[in-house]
Amino acid sequence: MIRRWNPETLAAPIGTYSHLAHVPAEYELVLVSGQVGVLPDGSLAGDDAESQTRAVFANIERLLEAVGAGPDQLVRVFSMVAGTEHLGGYRTALRETFERWYPGGDWPAQSLIVAAALAKPEILAEVEATIAVPR
């Protein structure tokens, strides 16, 4: 079983993440390349970070399903947002997704950076992930 926790020797996380996530030997790690806010047809989900981030997590959900996993097997998330002006929209979509995926607050490990730009000017959010799939 994947274990996520926050040691008492550190301050509590400042957001929706756990400080540690342990993956036991009976799991294989699957790495998810950076997902951007495109719909299944390849079109951009919108011109705002909230719409794009919703699409990012919908894509990650599809990838979880493709490997026979669910949100409980998501152990790490690394997010990139193109500019501080897009953090609000990103955080709204992240919070909505994580409230649905983790109603008990057992969140994966997570990091977030703000970048000057991502791969294309119209891309406002990108998320990489690590999934632990039972062998």
pLDDT tens-digit map of 100-134: 999 999 999 999 999 999 999 999 999 999 999 99
pLDDT digits (tens, 9 = 90+) for 15-74: 889 999 999 999 999 999 999 999 999 999 999 999 999 999 999 999 999 999 999 999
Q: Is residue 6 part of a domain?
A: no
Q: Is residue 18 part of a domain?
A: no
* Cα distance between residue 50 and residue 98, in whole Å: 14
Q: Is residue 70 part of a domain?
A: yes
Q: Is the CB of residue 64 less than 8 Å from the CB of residue 71?
A: yes
Q: State the CATH number of the domain containing residue 126.
A: 3.30.1330.40
Which runs of E-coded beta strand occur in the chain?
3-5, 20-22, 27-36, 74-82, 109-115, 125-134
Query: How many domains does the structure of the chain reveal?
Result: 1
What token pair was written down for 46? 């919108």
Provide the domain limits for residue 105: 31-134
* Cα distance between residue 28 and residue 76, in whole Å: 14
